[in-house]
């Protein structure tokens, strides 16, 4: 699987726009500003192909990237961000709910959390959705470049414990800024999507 052969396909603003072609979809979910779009750019080795923002709330549609004609990376709006209008938040919320509610769209969850912090209540809610719907999930602890090296193992253990995930769930430190973890995430995605 060649992650550099990735093309942007479309943005969905309403359920009619969702892609339903049967190819696997890896849904990148996480708090606003945690670096979902940055992690996507990092694994496909493009600069700002998925749009990155300095202020939270940059991704406000569901964006589909087709990797090597085999599966979609789905860049989702972030949750837990209060600084946009309630109307906007409601619109994203409804869009995300429709996406997650439709059977057979999400193949794999890629849950992005902040390597520095304990996962939030929203992170736990998202993870519980993946668990109860029996989706495979990969957890990515992003922004490890902002942690001291000595803190990383403890932080990763706390993330595993807080999200209550088993040892079979891949969990890796990652830095979209340096590319650390890129190969591990590519391998985990390949295994999960092409077993």
**Tokens found for residue 47:** 């600069």
Query: Which residues within the stretch 132-161 sit at the binding site for ligand GTP (CB under 6 A)?
Result: 142-143, 145-146
Is 78 or 181 the residue whose CB approaches Mg ion more closely? 78
Q: Could you tell me which residues come within 8 angstroms of residue 128 by beta carbon, excluding any fewer than 6 positions away? A: none
Q: Is 57 in the site for ligand GTP (CB under 6 A)?
A: yes
Q: Which does 145 bind (CB under 5 to 8 A by kind): ligand GTP, Mg ion, none?
A: ligand GTP
Contact 119, 163 (CB under 8 A): yes
Opening angle at CA 91, ends 137 and 65, nearest 5:
45
Contact 119, 11 (CB under 8 A): no
In angstroms, what is the minimal distance from the CB of 114 to ligand GTP? 9
Residue nearest to ligand GTP (CB): 78
User: Which residue is associated with the tokens 């964006």?
Assistant: 63
Separation of alpha carbons 133 and 176, rounded Å: 28
**Which residue among 77, 119, 173, 181 contacts ligand GTP (CB under 6 A)?**
77
**Binding interface with ligand GTP (CB under 6 A):** 30, 32-38, 52-54, 56-59, 77-78, 142-143, 145-146, 175-177
**Binding interface with Mg ion (CB under 5 A):** 36-37, 58-59
């Amino acid at each position: 699987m060649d992650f550099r052969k990735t093309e942007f396909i479309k943005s969905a603003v309403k359920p009619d726009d969702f892609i339903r072609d049967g190819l696997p979809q890896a849904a990148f979910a996480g708090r606003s500003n945690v670096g979902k779009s940055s992690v996507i750019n990092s694994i496909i080795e493009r600069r700002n192909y998925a749009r990155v923002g300095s202020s939270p709330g940059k991704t406000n549609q569901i964006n589909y990237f087709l990797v090597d004609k085999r599966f979609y990376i789905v860049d989702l709006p972030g949750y837990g961000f209060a600084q946009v209008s309630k109307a906007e938040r409601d619109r994203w919320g409804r869009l995300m709910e429709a996406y997650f509610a439709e059977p057979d769209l999400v193949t794999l969850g890629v849950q992005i959390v902040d390597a520095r912090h304990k996962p939030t209540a929203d992170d736990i809610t998202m993870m519980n959705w993946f668990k109860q719907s029996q989706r495979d999930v990969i957890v990515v602890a992003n922004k490890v470049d902002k942690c001291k090296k000595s803190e990383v193992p403890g932080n990763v253990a706390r993330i595993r414990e807080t999200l209550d995930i088993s040892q079979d769930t891949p969990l890796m430190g990652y830095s979209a800024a340096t590319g650390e973890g890129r190969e591990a995430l590519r391998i985990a995605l390949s295994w999960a999507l092409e077993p």
